[in-house]
Amino acid sequence: MKFLHISDLHIGKQLYGYSLLEDQWYVLGQVLDIMEKECPDAILIAGDIYDKAIPGAEAVRLFDRFLTKASEIRPKTAVFVIAGNHDSARRIDFAGDILCREQIYIVGTPPENSEQNISKVTLTDAYGEVDVYILPFFKPGNLRGLFTEEENESYVNLSKESGRSEYDIYFEKLLAREKIDFNKRNIMLTHQFYLPGSGTIERTDSEIVTVGTIDNISAEQLSAFEYVAMGHIHRPQNCGSERMRYCGTLMPYSLSEEKDEKSVTMITLNEKGTAPEIEMIPVKPLRGVRKIKGTKQEIISAAEREKEKADDYVSITVTDEQPGRFVREELGSYFSHILEIRFENSHIKELIGEGSDAPLCEDYFEMFGRFYEMRNGITMSEQEKQILAHLLGETEEEEE
């Protein structure tokens, strides 16, 4: 049985003010192409479908378009979707009962009372049944309704005494009440912050990081599953085992992902007791994300040599001592998606002090002058100084 694993679509996300909807449809189109070519039995979408709890109409239409096209692929591919921490659980749940008739299984909320369990769908191949457990993002508070007041109190105390997170303890209790049959093949689809027993997880700047990793769960709790399809971490990597994997995002969402190779993960399950076959299938973003540094002329010369990269999202650091005025406008004729322009030269280093914070000053005129110089690499003209003085004077009159 073959599964395709993707996660963290973050549909509707913006990068430094640029809409990424075109880029997102471009990579999702590649996912559809892979589905048609590889004919997986199911696709596992491990949370953070949208970038906001209340996504824009265009973002919803894009995901609707993807689901529609995925449902039309033959042979039929089952689609499993869970809510992530960026999603609204209730909104993701919408029309779930209707969609499951089309083998589209969308689960936004975890079990919330003693009558409910983790959602499960059973698939069958030549080797027998595969149970797919569908667990959306949860917080400990979401699971308190599964247990008595005494049990909840004991779990909180256990967290304080043991140093384990409440997430870790509640997840352990949640799994225990499921009574999973591990004589069968089992898959878990989940969106939490799992940590391996040893080693570390590589993170990116586009992820939300909690203070002190209070939301961590030990991945070892899932070691008996044939495969664990994880979401939440944006860089593709194993979580202590080939069987437990963060597939990462389909495209870069921060400058820290400049050199990341994006992919979808293909899993093939054979008979019980054999290791799953794991393959990463590359996907290519519509535009790259990269950092550029050099003098203005060096940057322009490189841009003229690499015109095919003109549409990349770029962060530019200009190192000229005197870069001149209208730098952004000048470089904008070579790069269509400038994220930011920074200036780095001896004068700015002197202003801010290497390795130290910029000196503070009480005078607003002086403070803005320093900011202007740090941001643009040149001092204000006399005309600009007069305009600033006039504006500051008006502000002071209003405050009086």
Question: Domain residues of the chain, as ranges?
Answer: 2-282, 289-399
User: d(Cα 329, Cα 261) in Å, to the nearest integer?
Assistant: 31
Mean pLDDT of the chain: 90
The whole-number pLDDT of residue 359 equals 43
Residue 210 sits at the vertex; the CA angle it makes with 207 and 216, to the nearest 5 degrees, is 95
Structure tokens at 120: 């499960």
Q: What is the pLDDT of residues 242-283, one digit of tens each?
A: 999 999 999 999 999 999 999 999 999 999 999 999 999 999
Strand order in the sheet with 313-318: 289-294, 313-318, 337-343
- Would you state the pLDDT for residue 322? 85
- Structure tokens that stand for 154 in this block: 């004991």
Residue found under tokens 């203070």: 211
pLDDT bucket at 391, cuts 50 / 70 / 90: confident
CA distance 389 to 67: 57
For residues 50 and 343, which has the higher predicted lDDT (pLDDT)? Answer: 50
Closest CA to 204 of 153, 245, 246, 257: 257
pLDDT one-digit tens code per residue, 176-234:
999 999 999 999 999 999 999 888 899 998 887 765 568 999 999 999 999 999 999 99
What's the pLDDT score for residue 212? 55
pLDDT value, residue 400: 47
pLDDT average, residue stretch 164-178: 95
pLDDT score recorded for residue 160: 93
CB neighbours of residue 231 within 10 Å: 30
Q: What band does 107 get if pLDDT is binned at 50, 70 and 90?
A: very high
The SS3 assignment for 289 reads strand
Specify whether the CB–CB gap between 63 and 24 falls below 8 A.
no
Q: Strand, coil or helix: what is 298?
A: helix
CA distances from 395 to 224, 328, 383 (A): 66, 29, 19
- The secondary structure of residue 64, as a DSSP letter, is H
399 pLDDT exceeds 80?
no
Give yes or no for residue 379 having a pLDDT over 80.
no
Checking if the pLDDT of 31 tops 60, the result is yes
Which of the four pLDDT bands, split at 50, 70 and 90, describes residue 360?
very low
How much is the average pLDDT of 304-312?
96
Cis status of the peptide bond prior to 75, with omega within 30 of 0: yes
CA gap 276, 185 in Å, rounded: 11
**One-letter amino acid of 285:** P
Fold of 2-282: Purple Acid Phosphatase; chain A, domain 2 (3.60.21)
pLDDT of residue 385: 79
How far is CA 252 from each of CA 25, 105, 190, 191, 206, rounded to the nearest angstrom? 14, 27, 21, 19, 9
Is 356's pLDDT higher than 60?
Answer: no
pLDDT at position 369, please?
74
Reported as a pLDDT band with limits 50, 70 and 90, residue 344 is confident
CA distances in angstroms from 313 to 219, 319, 339, 340, 344, listed in the order given: 35, 19, 6, 9, 20
Choose between 325 and 217: higher pLDDT.
Answer: 217
User: pTM here?
Assistant: 0.86
Q: Are 46 and 191 in contact (CB under 8 A)?
A: yes
Apex 200 CA angle, 195 and 205, nearest 5? 95
Q: Does residue 321 surpass a pLDDT of 90? A: no
Longest dimension (CA), the chain: 82
66-79 confidence digits (pLDDT tens): 999 999 999 999 99
The β-bridge relationship of strands 119-125 and 263-268 is unpaired
Quickly list H helices, 220-295: none
